[in-house]
Structure 1
Amino acid sequence: MSTGPAIRVKGITKSFKDVHVLRGVDFDVETGSIFALLGSNGAGKTTLVKILSTLQKADAGTATVYGVDVATNPGDVRESISLTGQFAAVDDVLTGRENLVLVAKLRHLKNPGTIADNLLARFSLTDAANRRGSTYSGGMRRRLDIAMSLIGNPAIIFLDEPTTGLDPEGRLEVWQTIKQLAGQGTTVLLTTQYLDEAEQLADRIAILHKGTIIQNGTLTELRQLLPATTVEYVEKQPSLEDIFLTLTGDTGDTDDDHADNNLPARKEIR
């Protein structure tokens, strides 16, 4: 592997007839980090991921994965990456374990059953191993989908809007999975349109708008773009997400006061 960035993008452009989707995109992704590509629908996020994952070719510019050009050496790039698209690629007829075994066999790996069992345990899916994919919740399907993407131990995983359509509990499950991946050394490039998702997960955030990166930095650096805030006491009502997660017991908070169904207004300093 190259000693430089895991991913390097320079001057990437892409048009579909008269529609200019990418207009010169530049950024680097450091090894072992979570990089969030933030943008609204139609900003060009998925197109860029398809270029980086060798599914499409750019009109101009270069993109490399560990120094290997995605356009001229796509086969070598595919050995280092995996892609999880916007819709889970889970076979509903097969069980969770059978989905994993199938992918391991398609990758011609030894001991596919052992690989499947290890991933089921890693993603807390062992109890559901022999259930059909059609019975999985949204969060479980997404976790299984990501587990399938990790077969073969790719160094880089692309997650294209991984929590779209998930309920709050499913989103939290996927967030935890993504953090675990980065903690184990996997480089994650995440596309999302959810501001809180980028804020919760990313080491660096690039904002893609009208085909170009208009800002790229850590959350702290991006916050410094706005005027300094004043410190004052404010009364904050719980959000609907706070209420839902408290009532369903999935906040991860063991404080009995926070589990009170009366949900009193909380005071905080900001």
Structure 2
Amino acid sequence: MIEIKDLSKKFNNFTAVNNIDLVIKSGEFMGVLGPNGAGKTTTIKIITGLLKPTAGNVYINGSLMNRNNKEIKGIMGIVPQYSNLDKELTVYENLVFAAKLFRVENYRNKIDELLDFVELSDFKDRMTGNLSGGMARRLTIAKALINDPDIIILDEPTVGIDINGRRKIWDILKYLKSRNKTVLLTTHYIEEAEYLCSRVCLIDKGVIIQDSTPENLKEQLGAYTVEYFDAELKTAYKFFDSKQKALDYSAGIKSSNYTVRETTLEDVFYNYTNRKVV
């Protein structure tokens, strides 16, 4: 459904995206995971036609993507990192405006369904500027779904949202996953990628460093981790393919400050980049 070939983007002497290749199949829930400044948002802007690449191409459903390709944009729903809502309109009026842009038929019924889906029916007459952060993000998602898109692209959809609001958004995204929509999610929340995505692409400094399922990425590194203080009182990590091997290794650690646990995606990312995802 989405094919990225030899994609690069430079801003003067800075390379934000460095010759990446990526294929996302129809119905796949793909997560692009990386720290701030890794190149996630730049890649999204190119995929959605907001930025022109320095080199390479993006194909959507076999068609070359550019900012003038209205046919492709008609099958996409986009949740940008920053709000695209009109704060001077009510919740309902924002969705009416979006529906008319996409020439949605019977849009009143569609809007009622979406408001119920994102749990905003009781707030449809509230001015958008008076919504909480989590409610505003849910409205942004509803707006992106107004045209019933085949492809849904979300750029850091839960950034700055409290844990309760984040969990509600996760429920919405899980439902979209069950509908076999093609979903591309960028995030720097490890647990978000691990919880939602069937496949994860790790990106750092504009380069894709790993691409597989969360389970495969952890198994390749080692299913179990021994985390401990070394002789210099710095945190060290050792990875093992079985819990018994991890326990055997921990028995020889002189320090009492150690933990044997299951490996996480954060361990995978830290191992390949030597820095935390923050």
Q: Which moved more, 1:8-17 or 1:74-83?
A: 74-83
Of residues 3, 20, 34, the one that matches 2:15 is 20
Supply the distance in 2 between the matched residues of 1:28 and 1:165 (Cα, whole angstroms): 29
Instruction: Describe how 1:33-52 pairs up with structure 2 within 5 A.
Output: 33-52=28-47
Q: Does residue 66 of structure 1 match 2:32?
A: no
Look up the equivalent residue of 1:60 and give its one-letter code: A
SS at match of 2:56: strand
Conservation of the 8 A alpha-carbon contact between 1:80 and 1:154: yes
Q: Deviation at 1:99?
A: 1.1
Conservation of the 8 A alpha-carbon contact between 2:150 and 2:181: yes
Which residue matches 1:230?
243
Q: Does residue 158 of structure 1 match 2:158?
A: no
SS at match of 1:225: helix
Conservation of the 8 A alpha-carbon contact between 2:156 and 2:186: yes
- Please, which runs of 5 or more residues in structure 2 have no aligned partner? 223-240, 248-259, 263-278
Supply the distance in 1 between the matched residues of 2:261 and 2:194 (Cα, whole angstroms): 19
Supply the distance in 2 between the matched residues of 1:163 and 1:217 (Cα, whole angstroms): 23
Which residue matches 1:213?
208
Q: Deviation at 1:112?
A: 2.7
Q: Deviation at 1:139?
A: 1.6
Q: Does residue 136 of structure 1 match 2:149?
A: no
Supply the distance in 2 between the matched residues of 1:63 and 1:169 (Cα, whole angstroms): 36
SS at match of 2:220: coil
SS at match of 2:243: coil
Which residue matches 2:113?
118
Which residue matches 1:82?
77
Q: Deviation at 1:29?
A: 1.0
Backbone CA RMSD of aligned residues: 1.9
Q: Does residue 57 of structure 1 match 2:70?
A: no
After superposition, the C-alpha distances for 1:192-233 in whole angstroms (9 at most, x for unaligned) are 111111111111000011111110000111012213142589
Q: Which moved more, 1:180-189 or 1:164-173?
A: 180-189
Conservation of the 8 A alpha-carbon contact between 1:123 and 1:177: yes
Of residues 93, 100, 103, the one that matches 1:108 is 103
SS at match of 1:54: coil
Judging changes above 3 Å, is the alpha-carbon distance between structure 1 residues 269 and 212 closer, same or farther for their aligned structure 2 residues?
closer
Which residue matches 2:141?
146
Judging changes above 3 Å, is the alpha-carbon distance between structure 1 residues 72 and 165 closer, same or farther for their aligned structure 2 residues?
closer
- Please, which runs of 5 or more residues in structure 1 have no aligned partner? 1-5, 234-267
Conservation of the 8 A alpha-carbon contact between 2:48 and 2:67: no
After superposition, the C-alpha distances for 1:138-191 in whole angstroms (9 at most, x for unaligned) are 221111100001111111111000111000111111111111112122211000
Q: Deviation at 1:72?
A: 8.6
SS at match of 1:49: helix
Which residue matches 1:257?
none
Look up the equivalent residue of 2:243 and give its one-letter code: T
Q: Deviation at 1:90?
A: 2.2
Supply the distance in 1 between the matched residues of 2:167 and 2:67 (Cα, whole angstroms): 38
Conservation of the 8 A alpha-carbon contact between 1:101 and 1:115: no
Supply the distance in 1 between the matched residues of 2:100 and 2:92 (Cα, whole angstroms): 12
Supply the distance in 1 between the matched residues of 2:111 and 2:14 (Cα, whole angstroms): 43
Look up the equivalent residue of 1:87 and give its one-letter code: Y
Conservation of the 8 A alpha-carbon contact between 2:90 and 2:128: yes
Which residue matches 1:236?
none
The normalised TM-score by structure 1 is 0.80
Q: Which moved more, 1:89-98 or 1:223-232?
A: 223-232
Judging changes above 3 Å, is the alpha-carbon distance between structure 1 residues 107 and 39 closer, same or farther for their aligned structure 2 residues?
same
Q: Deviation at 1:128?
A: 1.4
Conservation of the 8 A alpha-carbon contact between 1:68 and 1:76: no
Look up the equivalent residue of 2:215 and give its one-letter code: T
Deviating above 6 A after TM superposition, structure 1's stretches of 4 or more consecutive aligned residues are none
